[in-house]
Amino acid sequence: MKAIQFSRYGGPEVLDTVEIDPPHPGPGELRIKVCAAGVNPSDWKRREGQYRAFEEVGFPSGVGVEASGIVDEVGPGVASTFVGDAVFGYGRATMAEHAILTHWVHKPDDLPFEIAGGLPVISETAWRSLDELGVQAGETLLVSDAAGGIGSAVIQLARIRGITTIGTASPQKHDYLKNLGAIPTTYGPGLADRVRPLAPEGIDAALDVAGSGIIPELIALTGDPTRVLSVADFAAEEYGARFSHGPPKEPERVLADVARLYSMGQFRLHIERSFPLEQTAEAQTISAAGRVTGKLIISP
């Protein structure tokens, strides 16, 4: 089968399209014929070696942690009746024609494979972030870089919980944020002056999803570093803010709930662009530029 791998840390040029034997699932796992796999910042950060201090990578390494597809093999402890089912979830080396999933749920018929393949990371991260911040109905949350995949998910889940969201993005993305349910504003110098009129009663909590060095400003806006959380800035804790990271918490429950919300018309995911497997390096380059609206997808 075809798969994307890298054998050393570096830029997108270290990614190779290789021919390897299909993997076989271990206990509690299953294998899918991949229909779609989501591109995430963690993919290129891992490739660059940004995680090497706390995560061991064995070379050659596969790429990708989420996908949707059709089950074609199950591991010990998984019912054989899963074979032929459409599922989506977390796994390993998902940028490939076949991949192993370690956490999954059934895909509803009305949820397209392309969208399902991009849901796991953003929905679990958004759900976990809101829980860890403890934002309550009636409070106001500021989301930095809100037009990306995680920000888009946070806005929608916050809206369902009765939380008011102010999201930063470039001016051309403001209508997108409004359609998701957020109050938009631009990022950059003078953020506090732009945000305060939008939230006369103050900002109760803030979430950084881009890692753009904005933690001190978010702390100034909330007045409490413990109510600022980042999923992208490793230095957040140096300022007294919090840093949230995986592994995912209760992923099956979250994915099932998000799939249900999608079927109810309460949650959606914008796919900015879909790439063939061989263009994974290009997709990662676009992701690293930080201007993606919604999600990028690989379709083997």
Domain range annotation of the chain: 2-119+269-298, 122-243
| Residue 77 pLDDT greater than 90, yes or no | yes
| Residue 165 pLDDT greater than 80, yes or no | yes
- Which run of H or of E encompasses 68? strand 66-74
- pLDDT tier at 155 (50, 70, 90 boundaries)? very high
| Residue 252 pLDDT greater than 90, yes or no | yes
Task: For residue 87, give the nearest of 255, 208, 282 by alpha carbon.
Answer: 255
Q: What percent of the chain has pLDDT over 90?
A: 87
Q: Which residue has the tokens 């790439």?
A: 275
Kindly state the tokens that stand for 5.
Answer: 């791998």
| Residue 212 pLDDT greater than 80, yes or no | no
Higher per-residue confidence, 228 vs 51:
228
Beta bridge partner(s), residue 96: 3
| Residue 246 pLDDT greater than 90, yes or no | no
**What was the pLDDT predicted at 81?**
86
DSSP letters spanning 234-253: TTGGGGT-EE---S-SSHHH
**What was the pLDDT predicted at 290?**
86
Task: For residue 257, give the nearest of 151, 156, 183 by alpha carbon.
Answer: 156
Please give the distance of CA 171 from its chain centroid, rounded to a whole number.
Answer: 23
Instruction: Let me know: does 196 contact 219? Beta carbons within 8 Å.
Output: no
Rounded to an integer, the average pLDDT of 251-271 is: 96
Distance (Å) of CA 90 to CA 102, 140, 142, 245, 248? 6, 31, 28, 15, 9
Kindly state the tokens that stand for 202.
Answer: 């103050």
**Distance, CA of 206 to CA of 204 (rounded, Å):** 7
CA dihedral sign, ordered 205, 192, 45, 240:
negative
Cis amide leading into 108 (omega within 30): no
**Distance, CA of 226 to CA of 78 (rounded, Å):** 41
| Residue 210 pLDDT greater than 90, yes or no | no
Instruction: Let me know: does 151 contact 143? Beta carbons within 8 Å.
Output: yes
| Residue 190 pLDDT greater than 90, yes or no | no
Rounded to an integer, the average pLDDT of 132-152 is: 95
Q: Which range is least confidently modeled, 54-58, 60-64, 76-80, 153-157?
A: 54-58
Distance (Å) of CA 48 to CA 3, 45, 81? 19, 5, 40
2-119+269-298: what CATH class?
alpha beta
Kindly state the tokens that stand for 119.
Answer: 């849901």
| Residue 6 pLDDT greater than 90, yes or no | yes
What is the overall mean pLDDT for the chain?
95
Rounded to an integer, the average pLDDT of 156-176 is: 96
Residue 108 CB neighbours (<10 A): 15
| Residue 9 pLDDT greater than 90, yes or no | yes
**What was the pLDDT predicted at 213?**
84
Instruction: Let me know: does 155 contact 183? Beta carbons within 8 Å.
Output: no
**Distance, CA of 56 to CA of 58 (rounded, Å):** 7
- Regarding the domain with residue range 122-243, which homologous superfamily does it belong to in the CATH classification? NAD(P)-binding Rossmann-like Domain (3.40.50.720)
Q: What percent of the chain has pLDDT over 70?
A: 100
**Distance, CA of 195 to CA of 202 (rounded, Å):** 9
**Distance, CA of 64 to CA of 12 (rounded, Å):** 14
pLDDT digits (tens, 9 = 90+) for 28-48: 999 999 999 999 999 999 999
